[in-house]
Amino acid sequence: MNMLLWNLFDCVLALLALVLGWRVVSSHDLKRAVVLFIAFGLLMSLIWARLAAPDLALAEAAIGAGLTGALLLSALRQQPASSESPVRSLMDVYGSLVLVLVLGGVMAWALFAAPGMVQGSSSNNPIYLQLEQSGVSNPVTAVLLNFRAYDTLLEIAVLFCVAIGVLAFGRERQHVMPAGPLLGVLMRVLVPLLVVMSSYLLWVGAHAPGGAFQAGAVLAAAGILLHLGGMPTLGMPGPLNLRWLLIAGLACFLLVGLATMLNGASFLTYPQAWTSVLILLIETGAVLSIAATLVLAYRGGGAPLDQPQGEGSHEERL
């Protein structure tokens, strides 16, 4: 009976994915399509959690639904209002909001339940056979930063190229009006929690779902929230420090790889006694780079190096 209910639940998830996907691509109202896209991202997070892949579920929720949704909504800020009736538009907005909240609640439950659903490791699985030598007990982190560290190094390099493109061609987005009393209280509560959660995801990634990409996305969410609240420079690095953060992940990766070669081993072949420390060092640099890149992608090109951040508008600086 229990298995039958789970199979029914999976069928509902698959059906919802098809329906939401169709509504996203067929909606004539771009703003409604973006809200439905955010709901679709949360649904995909739930599906990943049901597939016992909580790392992917966290990444999809933070990046696929959260930050990508924020970027799309920001891009549509200047779009003209829809011509449909205000009542219909209001019903769509509240309906989509309820759907997002419901999916978010179910996803949170699934993420907490997912570790208990994971089946035991197979004795023939090569990842689990080499897990003790990886320096971490989370097989996902072991694959990303030890067994196939070259792939992750290239992913960090791609993010670095994206940051260069934003700095070179992006136009810095002006922050919105200062936060009101409600948003101000919310920011004072959420921003410290997001920073603490990011640190926790970074630390726990060695033995549980989490890691650099999830921690970086959560840390970037704090920066974007400050920008939305009209305080884009509060606690944010200046232009020069921002550039140092952008190269932190790639620099840590390359320096560790070169250090292993000087030690007589192959590139990114960690010494057994230092494996866990070196992986944590690489992940810390990656978190800073990922967060800086995502905030930069939302905010746009950075201020010139010879002018403090936040002084004057973009047009005045030109």
Q: How do residues 216-242 score in pLDDT, each as one tens digit? A: 888 888 888 777 777 666 666 776 777
Q: 155 with 298, same domain?
A: yes
Please compute the mean of the pLDDT values over residues 202-225 and round it to a whole number.
83
Residues 98 and 145 in one domain: no
Same domain, 141 and 113: no
Number of domains in the chain: 2
pLDDT for 114: 53
The reply to whether 277 falls in a domain is: yes
Which residue range is the domain that position 161 belongs to?
127-318
Q: Answer yes or no: is 2 within a domain.
A: no
Tokens representing 87? 């009542």
Within-domain flag for 122: no
Distance (Å, whole) CA 246 – CA 237: 11
Residues 64 and 143 in one domain: no
- Indicate whether 110 and 195 sit together in one domain: no
CB 71 within 8 A of CB 297: yes
The residue that leads in pLDDT, 93 or 194, is 194
Do 299 and 154 fall within a single domain?
Answer: yes
Question: Are 159 and 104 in a shared domain?
Answer: no
Hey, what are 153's tokens?
């190094």
Instruction: Tell me which amino acid residue 240 is.
Output: L
pLDDT over 70 percentage in the chain: 70
Rounded average pLDDT over 284-289? 91
Lowest mean pLDDT of 14-18, 49-53, 125-129, 288-292, name the range: 125-129
**Banded model confidence at residue 255, pLDDT cuts 50, 70, 90:** very high
| Statement to judge: residues 59 and 145 lie in one domain | no
Residues 6+ apart with CB under 8 A from 126: none
Interior angle at CA 55, CA 124 and CA 188, nearest 5: 160
Q: What is the dihedral of CA 30, 32, 34, 37, to 10 degrees?
A: -130
218 closest CA partner among 234, 242, 236, 198: 198
pLDDT of amino acid 232: 60
Asked if 14 and 93 sit in the same domain, the reply is yes
* pLDDT, mean of residues 12-36: 81
Higher pLDDT, 253 or 221: 253
Note if the pTM is more than 0.75: no
Average confidence score pLDDT of the chain: 75
Q: Is the dihedral of CA 111, 115, 116, 122 positive or negative?
A: positive
d(CA 132, CA 118): 19
Same domain, 157 and 305: yes
pLDDT at 111: 56
- 162/111 same-domain check: no
Q: Are residues 173 and 112 in the same domain?
A: no
Quick one: pLDDT at residue 69? 78
